Amino acid sequence: MSSKEIVIDIQNLSKRYEIYKTPRDRLKQLVLPRLFRMINRTMSAFRLSKLKPPPHYFREFWALTNVSLQVRAGETLGIVGRNGSGKSTLLQLLAGTLTPTNGSVAVNGRIAALLELGSGFNPEFTGRENVFLNGRILGLTQKQIEERYDQIVDFADIGSFIDQPVKTYSSGMFVRLAFAVQAHIDASIVIIDEALAVGDVFFTQKCFARLRELVDGGAAVVLVTHDMATVTQFCTRVLVLNNGEEMFSGEPVPAIRRYMALQRDAVPGITARTRIAEKLKLRGDQKPASRGFDWPSDDAFFETDKVDIVGTGQAEFIGVALCDETGEAARVFQMGDTADFFVEYRLLRDIDVPILGVTIANEKGLLVHGKNSIQHKLNAPDSAHVGQTLRYRQRIALDLAPGEYSFVVGLATTDADTYRHSEHMSHGDLSNSIHRVLSVGNAGTFTVGLRRDGIALTHHGLANLPGACDLFVTSVEKEGT
């Protein structure tokens, strides 16, 4: 297949659903329009006035509206969007499991679709039996499946469970076997809907290596994911959907920015920083000019509607932003990249020396890093006063394992004497002398992915620890010397 050949052609694709409040309304919609048509045909035969058609007993929901795109052989298309944006509906239309309301879908070649766990499998059959069942459903002959069987089983790597009913499988084992079958049917188009998020990291890496082989061989891959690291590393083009409509289609980096903007701007037309500025304006406060470092632009700030704030009433949280080392808004990084965390507070009461910090947790909630300004030995003022704004930047090298992370920002205070002599105090004494002012949970999230240059995985484990290594090879003494 030519690498330039169009394998998916979608034109003005729309999908409508009928939403009913009650089962009774569904029954009315099924029966009454037909009944009225029969009555009107009878009335027409006798030249009598026709009855008005009955009302609809449902509301329309358009899962997709006028989406158009083309995918060529050898291309990887990522589809991103918030929950309910139409991503899964689009994949089901591509796979042929749904019929479009309007528009057209044209595919050229065999499709391998991994849309949901269990599709194409009989839970009562063994893994071995399901390999043959699923293979036949996907269009392979018995002989073709037998030729590929050993490769499929080796790839799935589920051991003796291959001869156990799949209803006894874990979700991870299920996706291993399902992907193994899909990856060995010589498909021209591979469609995946978040299924790889179920497997462990090593199997996920194995899957993406196989997908790259398929892409290099001319297959097209369509992938729905919420993992922005996967989007940047694997996709050549990205479609951003919002409320069933195409918001953007293009290269990964600008697509991610558009997606993050959708996540941030939950209230249409009003960004987090716009609301912050309006709040300060209403109070007649003037934001101080940033000194010592550049303050980020509006698009770097996170939405503040879902933060979890615990405080003493001494300060007010204004906003938090995340940038890369060039100062651009960023939510996706590579292992070892530098990130700048920015946070702003407004004081409602006088405090002593301000102490500010950032803590980072992985997707399991495990704290992987936390550090504050006193640990950084920041030259902070002895006091800060009501009405003043504190703008803080903390630069962190993200030497972390690939994955999704969240962070918390906080403000505390201590007296000047404690701050100056903190190095000579015990941990317990120092902790007792620091008083929390404000803690902001769910401040934001970011993704760390493998490096695209050099060694992709720079370390094993949660974090990279500074260190060095040496090697000395001894010489071999010859006998008789």
User: pLDDT tens-digit profile of 299-330?
Assistant: 899 988 888 999 999 999 999 999 999 999 99
Maximum mean pLDDT: which of 47-56, 101-110, 277-286: 101-110
Tens of pLDDT along 115-134? 766 667 888 999 999 999 98
What pLDDT shows up at residue 96? 87
What pLDDT shows up at residue 395? 96
Range with lowest mean pLDDT among 143-152, 406-415, 466-475: 466-475
Residue 204 or residue 190, greater confidence = 190
Going by pLDDT thresholds of 50, 70 and 90, the confidence category of residue 51 is low
Going by pLDDT thresholds of 50, 70 and 90, the confidence category of residue 279 is very low
What pLDDT shows up at residue 299? 86
- d(CA 359, CA 362) in angstroms, rounded, equals 10
User: What is the extent of the structural domain holding 306?
Assistant: 289-449
Q: Which of 205, 410, 451, 430 is nearest to 309 (CA)?
A: 410
The verdict on residue 236 lying in a domain is no
As for how many domains the chain has, the answer is: 1
Residue 438's CATH number:
2.70.50.60
Mean of the per-residue pLDDT values of the chain: 85
DSSP 296: P
The verdict on residue 219 lying in a domain is no
Going by pLDDT thresholds of 50, 70 and 90, the confidence category of residue 283 is very low
Maximum mean pLDDT: which of 172-186, 222-236, 285-299, 344-358: 344-358
Angle formed by the axes of helices 201-216 and 171-182, nearest 10°: 10
Is 15's pLDDT higher than 90? yes
Is 267's pLDDT higher than 50? no
Is 194's pLDDT higher than 50? yes
Torsions phi, psi of 143, nearest 5? -65, -40
Maximum mean pLDDT: which of 213-227, 337-351, 458-472: 337-351
Going by pLDDT thresholds of 50, 70 and 90, the confidence category of residue 290 is very low
The verdict on residue 111 lying in a domain is no
Is 332's pLDDT higher than 80? yes
Is 11's pLDDT higher than 90? yes
The verdict on residue 105 lying in a domain is no
Tens of pLDDT along 148-173? 999 999 998 888 999 999 999 888 88
What pLDDT shows up at residue 460? 83
Q: What is the mean pLDDT of residues 8-31?
A: 88
Is 385's pLDDT higher than 90? yes
User: With pLDDT > 70 as the criterion, what percentage of the chain qualifies?
Assistant: 88
What pLDDT shows up at residue 416? 93
Q: How far, in Å, are 64, 125, 387 from residue 82 at the CA level?
A: 14, 36, 38
What pLDDT shows up at residue 82? 85
Tokens 């080392």 belong to which residue? 325
Tens of pLDDT along 335-357? 999 999 999 999 999 999 999 99
Is 466's pLDDT higher than 50? yes
Q: How far, in Å, are 39, 141, 204, 264, 281 from residue 269 at the CA level?
A: 51, 55, 38, 11, 18
The verdict on residue 469 lying in a domain is no
The verdict on residue 420 lying in a domain is yes
Q: Which helix (H) or strand (E) holds 308?
A: strand 308-311
Is 268's pLDDT higher than 50? no
- In the numeric block, which tokens belong to residue 470? 């040496």
Q: Are the CB atoms for 103 and 66 separated by under 8 Å?
A: yes
User: With pLDDT > 90 as the criterion, what percentage of the chain qualifies?
Assistant: 46
Is 228's pLDDT higher than 70? yes
The verdict on residue 77 lying in a domain is no
> 308-311 and 435-449 as β-strands: parallel, antiparallel, unpaired?
antiparallel
The verdict on residue 265 lying in a domain is no
